[in-house]
Chain A
Amino acid sequence: MPQESILSDDFIRELINVGEVDILVGLPTYNNGETVGQVVQAVRTGLLKYFPRARSVIINADGGSRDGTQDLVRAASISDLSVSSDVHALRTLHSISTQYEGGPANGIALHTIFAAADLLQARACAVVSPESTTIEPDWMDRLLRPVLNDSRDLVLPVYRRHKFDGLLVRNLLYPLTRAVYKCQLREPYPSDFAFSGGLGSQFLSQDIWSKEQGRQGTELWLTLSALVGKFKLAQSFLGTKARQENPRSDLVNAMRETAGILFCSMDSFSSVWRDSQPPVDAPCLGCQPAVSLEPLRLNRKRLHQMYVFGLSELEPVFLSILSPATHADLKRLATLSEESFAFPAELWARTVYEFSVSYHKAVIGRDHVVQALVPLFRGRAYTFLTENREASAEEVEGNLEALCQTFEREKPYLLGLWDGGK
């Protein structure tokens, strides 16, 4: 039985009116009225400036905004107009907005964008976050050029970020991806990225859209699928990443989107990463020092308190997940005062590996395994903040590199656990 398309009839009609395109830029939105106009403007300028001869379309997949987001995107549709003195359109730049069912969910928005790209036979596609307020027109060039000119299948971003931003990416996602899949991807869970039509079609045909990874963390799953599928990867330096005014404080959901998806991929692709494969190359184009150091006042005390509280309250859960030795080490840490508390990299790597194995073996409900990692991550985040409090950009990079090397060194421990008993 043919699979039913996610695209509505009206949307398909609009896409057919556009016809085949060279470039498609997708914009998943949900109540982003405050920032989306600026982002669309930068995307439009970038497309006209760097790809004036390409047939391009901007597709907005909206999760049911009630703040006029869709109207702002539609307003960007122009026809052979010049947007500034040095930018002239040679072709019509279409801008289409559609509202998908079952939202808001980033995975469904991406599914819509992938399906549209497949229908329009786009050669290169980019997805841009509507919250990327620091976006410059040249992001389009940096993301799309490697796909169009160098036949790269997936281009991931590298940002300049504050040294304390992206704690989960720095302490878990990057080191674990690097150790397991042998590829140094700084942002494996990208909010702005580009992909080839070939990768898009392959990804679209995957049987994930009714699963968890088809709803959240889909970008991470795309990265890992491309890695495992031996697609050609690249990274491109984009500049400063916008710091959100109100970042999602729901650490549990962030953990599900990152650790949950990564553990799930380790379970699905275990035959690939357990073999001694050569490192995967993902050259970084135009990379620069990527850490900024503006002073920030942070409340680290609460992280420490939450670690100690979580460790004592969740003891029965940890006994099911962790080995007795690791559990004893974590308990010993909880007895330390805030001043002397330090979560060593080796212990953190071992803890993460034991969690991934418990997820694989489903010793308790898999979502519960992921949730139980949250208090321990708080302890590790506390140590990261303390360690790098006065650190320079080079020292932060050095500490991060040391953490990644620890994860790589401890990988045999993961392999031993994966193949054998706990």
Chain B
Amino acid sequence: MLNADRIIGFFSLAFGGVIFAVTRDLSQLGGVFVNYVLIAIFFLAAIMIVKGFTKPERLRFFDSMVERNNILIGLIILFIYLFFMPKVGFLPASYIFYACFNIYLAEDRWTTKNIIQSVAISAIVVTFFFLIFHFFLAVPLPIGSWFE
């Protein structure tokens, strides 16, 4: 069980500390508001830490190992997608991401039917939105640095 108050309190102190360190060279007009907010953050963080020691709120972050693994894998798939999109281009990255995510979330992951279905849906949805954004809305989607 996690002590949520202590985590929030110490994280806030660290966050406030970093902001304090990088905003010392601001002018008076540019820094006055930042300084007031930092005072509030340090004060509220101190309250959270005190609460964490006196009347802590204990929480379970993940309900189960399965949930933790699902979230981590989901985030890793998304991270890889975002990482490779500027390199391989929007269309190839999106086709692969969409199909992989579909396959991952399905119950019968590795059946031929599911794979074909996922690839087909990926092709339709991604192409549909690509056409709208690229041609209708004129958004310059990443082409892919590897192919430039």
* B is a partner of A: no
Residues of B within 8 A of A (CB): none
